[in-house]
Amino acid sequence: MTVETGKIAPTFTLPNQKGEKVSLTDFKGKHVVLYFYPKDMTPGCTTEACDFRDSYTSFEDLDAVIIGVSPDPVDRHQQFIDKHDLPFLLLADEEHKVADEYGVWKLKKNFGKEYYGIERSTFIIDKDGKLQKEYR
């Protein structure tokens, strides 16, 4: 499935790093930077998360929240947050249902092996819940 710019972004509810349920609709009235990443604690994902962390106040100034999503479990997300002092939510999509809805659960190749995983992607959702931009 793919999402379309200008349309309402697929809604979801997932557990955050503390196991609390978080829904996209909780952020209606704010801009949302929703980013999907493959795995906590890996070099590329750590760099990406730290870049978001380092720009966090700029996003706050724009009335935007940052939400990261990966298939990692809740406790792994909390370790990632603690290790890198991340000031935003990380959501656990262990069954990759939300990744499927956003079209980021893809067949990948690495060293000749094929497997399914997250295609690193970021979606900008406006205050009304509409998808404004996507970066893949």
Active-site residues, by number, are 45
Tally Cβ neighbours within 10 Å of residue 71.
Answer: 21
Spell out the SS3 assignment of 36-99: ECCCCCCHHHHHHHHHHHHCHHHHHHCCEEEEEEECCCHHHHHHHHHHHCCCCEEEECCCCHHH
